[in-house]
Amino acid sequence: MRRGLDFEKAEAALKRAADKALHGTREERSGRFLVSSTITSAEYDDEARELDITFTSGKKYRYFNVPLEIYAEFLDAGSKGKFFNDNIKGAFSFVEIGRK
């Protein structure tokens, strides 16, 4: 599925993420640890456009060619698991990169 980049939506999501990075909890400021029942952490490499997600099972996966907008929306999502299932799972190629 092809997705267009909505710059206004991406900018708003990035502003919210930046606000959390400056004024949020320690976990929110790091951008790595999430409040989720299924996902424990996420890291994004904007140059490589790779998203690493660690699940509560300890399994860690790398998703390729993920737009920054998707990562920003993921961080901003009320339910990380639902956002993952609706927008990342099945939409991007991936590999398992180990266990935490």
So what's the pLDDT on residue 10? 64
Instruction: Tokens for 6, please give them.
Output: 């909505």
Tokens of 77: 């999502």
Q: Is residue 39 part of a domain?
A: yes
Contact between residue 76 and residue 16 where contact means Cβ atoms under 8 Å apart: yes
pLDDT single digits (tens) 1-20 = 444 556 676 677 667 766 66
pLDDT digits (tens, 9 = 90+) for 20-32: 666 665 555 555 5
Number of structural domains the chain divides into: 1
Is there a domain that residue 65 lies in?
Answer: yes
On whether residue 42 sits in a domain, the answer given is yes
Mean pLDDT, rounded, of the chain: 81
CB distance 74 to 84 below 8 Å? yes
Tokens for 39? 């996902």
Tell me whether residue 2 is in a domain. no
Q: What integer pLDDT is reported at residue 37 of this predicted model?
A: 84
Shortest CA distance to 77 belongs to which of 50, 46, 38, 47? 38
Domain membership of residue 61 (yes or no) is yes
Residue-range definition of the domain harbouring residue 17: 7-99
When computed from its CA atoms, the radius of gyration of the chain, rounded to whole angstroms, is 13
